[in-house]
Amino acid sequence: MDNARKGVELDLGAEASTDTWDAHWRRIGAWSIGLAAARGLTLQMADDPLLAVLDAPKCGEFLQDLGVLSIPVEPANSNREREIFELARALEHHFAFEPFRNSGDESDPFAQAALQSLQCATRAELDRAIASLPVFPAAGQRALQLLISENWSIPDLEFIAASDPVLASDLIRVCNSCLFCRREPVTTLGHAIAYLGSERASAVLIAASVKRLFTTPQLREIWNHSIEASEIARNLAAISGRANAEEAFLGGLVHDIGRLATALLPAKYQSTSARLLREGCELSLVERALCGSTHAELGATALQRWNFPRNLIEAVRFHHRPEACESSLAAVLYLTERCTNPAEDIPSAARSKAAIERLGFDRTITLEIKSEAGILDSLRL
């Protein structure tokens, strides 16, 4: 295939994997304000312990960014505010040490109290969100089953693609977007499948099916991120030789599918999470604090419902916590996230190290990822 190629640099060095002091204090400020709001208080910073701790040149900037007024605090409020600040610090500590903790360990009671205060989506609401997810298109489902079965032929795939005209036209469009050097466009499914190859054609059919689930402008942004992630993940897997490249491609496409479920949670969750994200907390932390699960876990549950292969489900479940499993695919997806959307989680040296070692990479190198321009670009929303 004679495609134009573009390079993406993936920095696996220690610098790229380390949280910053600024980000740490910014999160503490944001958690403090979130905790105060959950208790019906408006946090005001003058004479507040947070102000004392933020006694640094950056302090004014933090407060300005967080939209906090710097006016005197009523003496009666100061103890309550000091308590809120301690809860915020405990929460930050809880998240920072997560990669080092065994799952059974009890965390700090202060952190537990903070989590309880912030929680604004119940288990029942999460279950309802999962149950309300759209049905995965039947043709995509059949393409997936074909891809994971050992015994199938190109006419089988052509038959599946022909059963859904929208998917069929997407497949032909993707194929033509790859044909930079040909004058005659491909017009039949048979030619498109022959040109792309049966595995890639199945993956494109699955991609076109997944695309249909991303309907709102906010979700479309996630879909476009997923397209980028699919190419990076495929390349990372291929370079490492320790994960299946086509599986990694599919993994990249569906790794954030759990965000379809969090988008269905009640308005209170949406407004609180939007505020915490705006104020500098990372997505996975906000999700854990507000609903006790992340889009990674919710995504794994959704993929289970849609009968995706078990190793893909496991990789998606642990794509923000690769140290908690042994999957090479989870390590690929973790590094893919760090490269394509680092704002989804705190950079963690421990996690990056675990992922890098599992894939056999050298921690000091920068990989130049070559991605084939145009494979899924025409499926962007």
Size of site (CB under 5 A) for Fe ion: 4
Distance, in Å, from the CA atom of 289 to the CA atom of 112, rounded to the nearest integer, reads: 10
Looking from the CA of 19 toward its CB, the CA atoms found within 13 Å total: 22
Closest CA to 3 of 375, 376, 369, 368: 375
CB 294 to Fe ion: min, Å: 8
Q: Shortest distance, CB of residue 344 to Fe ion, whole angstroms?
A: 5
User: What's the closest the beta carbon of residue 154 comes to Fe ion, in angstroms?
Assistant: 33
Element (H, E) at 10: strand 5-11
What is the C-alpha separation between 333 and 310, in angstroms, rounded? 15
Is residue 341 at the binding interface for Fe ion, with CB under 5 A as the rule?
yes
Of 164 and 345, which CB lies nearer to Fe ion in the complex structure?
A: 345
Question: Which one, 25 or 269, has the nearer CB to Fe ion?
Answer: 269
Contacts to Fe ion from residues 14-53, by CB under 5 A: none
CB of 366 to Fe ion, least distance (A): 21
Region near Fe ion per CB under 5 A, out of 50-58, 64-72, 250-258, 370-378: 250-258
Greatest alpha-carbon pair distance for the chain in Å reads 78
**Using rule CB under 5 A, residue 287 touches Fe ion:** no
The CB-of-315 to Fe ion minimum distance in angstroms stands at 11
| Smallest gap from residue 341 Cβ to Fe ion (A) | 5
247-to-63, 93, 144 alpha-carbon distances in Å: 45, 35, 11
Contacts of 156 (CB under 8 A, 6+ apart): 146
Helices (H), 97-164: 109-118, 123-131, 138-148, 154-162
Min separation Cβ 20 and Fe ion, Å: 20
Stretch that binds Fe ion, among 1-9, 211-219, 274-282, 343-351 (CB under 5 A): 343-351
Which residue of this chain has its Cβ atom nearest to Fe ion in the complex? 256
Residue with smaller CB distance to Fe ion, 98 or 256:
256
Task: By CB under 5 A, tell whether 256 contacts Fe ion.
Answer: yes
| Helices 295-305 & 283-291 angle (0-180, nearest 10) | 80
Q: How far is the CB of 255 from Fe ion (least distance, A)?
A: 6
Q: Taking contact as CB under 5 A, which single stretch among the options 17-25, 35-43, 178-186, 255-263 is the one that binds Fe ion?
A: 255-263
Q: Which of 140, 232, 344, 352 touches Fe ion by CB under 5 A?
A: 344
User: Which of 74-82, 164-172, 232-240, 332-340 is the region at the interface with Fe ion (rule: CB under 5 A)?
Assistant: 332-340
- One-letter identity of residue 352: S
88 or 298: whose CB is closer to Fe ion? 298
Angle subtended at Cα 325 by Cα 323 and Cα 327, rounded to the nearest 5 degrees: 105
Q: Which is nearer to Fe ion, 247 or 337 (CB)?
A: 337
119-150 burial: b if 16+ Cβ within 10 Å, else e? bbbeeebbeebbeebeebbebbbbbbebbbee
Which residues form the interface with Fe ion (CB under 5 A)?
256, 337, 341, 344
